[in-house]
Homo-oligomer: A and B are copies of this chain.
Amino acid sequence: MEKIHIIKIGGNIIDNPERLNTFLKDFAVIPGKKVLVHGGGKIASDLSLTLGISPKLIDGRRVTDADSLKVVTMVYGGLINKNVVAQLQAHQCNAIGLTGADGNIIQAHKRVHPQIDYGFVGDIDKVDGEKLDVFLKGGFVPVFAALTHDQQGTMLNTNADTIAAQLAIALSGFYQTELVYCFEKKGVLKSIDNENSVIRQLDETAYQHLKQEGVIAAGMIPKLDNAFETLHKGVHSVIIGKAEDLLHSITENDVLGTLLQGPVKQ
């Protein structure tokens, strides 16, 4: 099966023009098929502040009201997405910017919660892998902003990690998928304060063991639970770590960061 990389970057790269530029230059030369997913970052919060829209948080989660939805649609779907695409094009990478609404590739609904109204936040119902494959087969490199739609005309703010995971699962029918989560640490650490304590490989048994022992940092648990879930749903492997290291891992085939692998397939 042909390989594909689905790479997610967040605010720590998006918000830093130099890091972003270096990242995009490296991303452009990754051989084979690939998809980029980006979140937003400080730019959206800064614009909200300037416009006098105060951020609303419930239990540490941002609530997306109508004005905030406009801001993220502008910033994620417009400013960040189009500048990333233009920069990738300058590096001869044939990028095309997308949201879940484009081509109806990611179908979602407004989050339903018994107590909390999260506002215009999307939970994903389905990814149309076949439609996405039209772009991949056409030689394009999809760049997804963290936005979906409700199929009734409304855009929805959607977690970028989740989008990357769902795209990877949907593409597993056609490709050997590797999901690449770039974040601020070098990988899953044995000791949270020691960047040299990266766990190089983690299978589910070892993970459950380390989780019970309290070795895995609390903040990493949802990320890793979700990552292992993607492996159960067809994703071939997940790598987690610093962007620079992970892109090196891909081009040099020498894993820096933490590698999670799924059950061996028959």
Residues of A within 8 A of B (CB): 50-51, 70, 73-79, 81-83, 85-87, 89-90, 94-99, 101-104, 131, 134-135, 138-140, 147, 149-155
Contacts and interface: CB of A to CB of B under 8 A. Distances in A.
Contacts of A96: 98, 102-103
Number of copies: 2
Contacts of A147: 82
Nearest to A91: B153
B85 A101 contact: yes
B86 A97 contact: no
Given A51-B50, A89-B151, A103 B94 contact: yes
Given A51-B50, A103-B94, A138-B138, A78 B73 contact: yes
A158 to B, nearest CB: 13
A85 B97 contact: no
Contact of A82 (B99, B135, B138, B151): B99
A155 B79 CA distance: 10
Given A77-B81, A89-B151, A90-B152, 18 more contacts: A74-B79, A76-B78, A77-B97, A78-B78, A78-B79, A82-B101, A82-B102, A83-B155, A86-B149, A89-B149, A90-B151, A90-B153, A95-B101, A95-B102, A95-B103, A96-B98, A97-B101, A138-B138
